[in-house]
Amino acid sequence: MDNAGGSQIAGGAIDKIADFLTNRNVQVGGTYEVSRAAAEALMAGRRAIQTLVNAERPEEIVFGHSTTALVQILANSMRSQFVEGDEIIISVGDHESNIGPWDRLREFGVKIIFWPVDKATYELRLEDLEPLMTERTKLVCVHHVSNILGQANPVADFSQFVHDRGAQICVDGVAYAPHRAIDVTGWDVDYYVFSMYKCYGPHHAVMYGKYNLLEKLDGQYHYFYGKDKVPGKLEPGNPNYELAFSAVGVVDYLTELGEHVGAQGSKRDKIEAAFSAITFHEDALTQRLLTYLAGRNDCRIIGKATFENSDRVPTVSFKLDGIDSGELCKQMDAYQIAIRFGDFHARRLVEYLGEEGNSGVIRVSMVHYNTLEQVDRLCAAIGQIASMGDTVRAAP
């Protein structure tokens, strides 16, 4: 139940890694057969992610070794587009990966403004964003789902709002991608990043960008990689070929899951059906856990305690009165249930909410292969551990 820290990997993704390393393990760009096969594998990976996120073309898919690295590459590539006095708005609820790279542009005269989370509702509201935006606002950076709060934000609405005011939007989809179908074209986002290792793949990451915007970015590779060399100019040292190829296995898994629940039609149709089934099951998991936690008089749920229209993923954070979060998680190890505590690199949010004390928050993060029986085991273990007394008590 620590899937927001990394999900398990689809068997087909492992097979693709082994296939590449066994049969195609050479540099792309050669005229010979095996090099052409390596290039085909890389393009197959791009096309798989194109389908997964509903992009218009495979060249809009940039691979990197982590979401953190990809956002840093994006910030470096956009730096020349900003002049002193330009403004970037960042949600205070974001993971540091979508804050730090932009915040470092302060040294070039860029003004960083934080969009607050409503402390009463845990929501990001457009009425709070509106007074922050000016004619100098060039970019808004926001999370699709907070890796602590678990609430899905309406990024299509955010995107339209931001575009209507002449700015671009960069969305961190790490905590969303394992749970719901991504639709970058339908949402009209400019950039969207997420980690494959949290979405049933290996330690690898993806950045989508609109092709015309990727063309305008400064390259991060050799000087002779011109602005038109998309996406290669943003993949210094080349992407990891075998991990890129593994994306085919992830998409195949989701496609087969869609077929299993009766979907027909295109691969994209099957992926959407798969995520509909995932949502149905995950809603039951989320409801079971939230009901238990809300029923405890010593528990505070960090985030909404209820949800509507499947707008909450099964990432649930909470604190127990008088109990150290770290000690509870350590005691949970004996029950062979994996959960985690802390700030999860969303430290600014935890500090903003005043929840950094007693080892931060406890987080349970589930995906579709978790079961209701496992939730019941977790709840029983929480009750037993919480009754242990001094072994889990927080410092006064």
Residue 307 reports pLDDT greater than 90: no
Domain containing residue 327: CATH number: 3.90.1150.10
181 and 146 within one domain: yes
59 part of a folded domain: yes
In Å, how far are 197, 296, 393 from 359, measured between CA atoms? 26, 20, 11
Please indicate, yes or no, whether residues 143 and 118 belong to a single structural domain of this protein: yes
Residue 6 has pLDDT above 80, yes or no: yes
> Which residue, 224, 253, 282, sits at the end of a domain?
253
Asked whether residue 294 falls in the same domain as residue 208, the answer is: no
Domain's final residue, options 253, 280, 308: 253
308 — pLDDT class (breaks 50, 70, 90) = confident
Query: Are 239 and 280 in a shared domain?
Result: no
Find the mean pLDDT for residues 211-220.
Answer: 97
Same domain, 206 and 280: no
What pLDDT, on a 0 to 100 scale, did the predictor assign at position 77? 97
Q: Same domain, yes or no, for 223 and 108?
A: yes
Residue 260 lies in a domain: no
Are 101 and 193 in a shared domain? yes
> Mean pLDDT in the chain?
96
At residue 393 the predicted structure's pLDDT band, cuts being 50, 70 and 90, is confident
Cα separation, 169 vs 155, in Å, equals 9
Task: Please check whether residues 22 and 156 belong to one and the same domain.
Answer: yes
Interatomic CA distance for residues 393 and 322, integer angstroms: 6
Per-residue pLDDT of 312-322, as tens digits, reads: 999 999 999 99
Q: What is the pLDDT of residue 389?
A: 67
* Low-confidence winner among 33-42, 88-97, 218-227, 342-351 (lowest mean pLDDT): 218-227
When pLDDT is averaged across residues 383-391 and rounded to a whole number, the result is 83
The predicted pLDDT at position 395 comes to 61
The count of residues in the chain is 396
Q: What's the token pair of residue 379?
A: 């709840």
Q: What is the pLDDT of residues 98-111, one digit of tens each?
A: 999 999 999 999 99
Q: Phi/psi at 78 (nearest 5 deg)? A: -90, -10
Task: For the chain, give the percent of residues with pLDDT over 90.
Answer: 95
Count of H helices and E strands in the chain?
13, 11
Mean pLDDT of 117-124: 95
Could you read off the pLDDT of 189-213 as tens digits, one per residue?
999 999 999 999 999 999 999 999 9
pLDDT of residue 287 exceeding 80 = yes
Confirm whether 128 is domain-assigned.
Answer: yes
Kindly state the helix (H) or strand (E) to which residue 217 belongs, with its residue range: none
| 8-61 confidence digits (pLDDT tens) | 999 999 999 999 999 999 999 999 999 999 999 999 999 999 999 999 999 999
Q: Is residue 396 part of a domain?
A: no
Tens-digit pLDDT profile for residues 158-170: 999 999 999 999 9
What is the model's pLDDT at position 227?
A: 84
Q: Compute φ and ψ for 304, nearest 5 degrees.
A: -70, 135
Q: Count how many domains the chain has.
A: 2
In a domain, 240, yes or no: yes
Inside any domain, residue 261: no
Q: Is 88 contained in some domain?
A: yes
User: Is there a cis peptide before residue 239, judged by omega within 30 degrees of 0?
Assistant: no
Burial (CB count within 10 angstroms: exposed 0-12, middle 13-18, buried 19+), residue 311: middle
CA-CA-CA-CA torsion for 257, 259, 262, 266, nearest 10 degrees? 120
Q: Domain boundary residue among 206, 228, 253?
A: 253
Return the number of other C-beta atoms located less than 10 Å from residue 259's C-beta: 14
In a 13 Å sphere around the CA of 64, the CA atoms on its Cβ side amount to 23
Q: How far is CA 173 from CA 53, 150, 206, 222, 243, in A?
A: 11, 12, 10, 29, 19
The pLDDT value recorded for residue 309 is 87
Same domain, 240 and 363: no
**Domain residue limits at 349:** 267-389
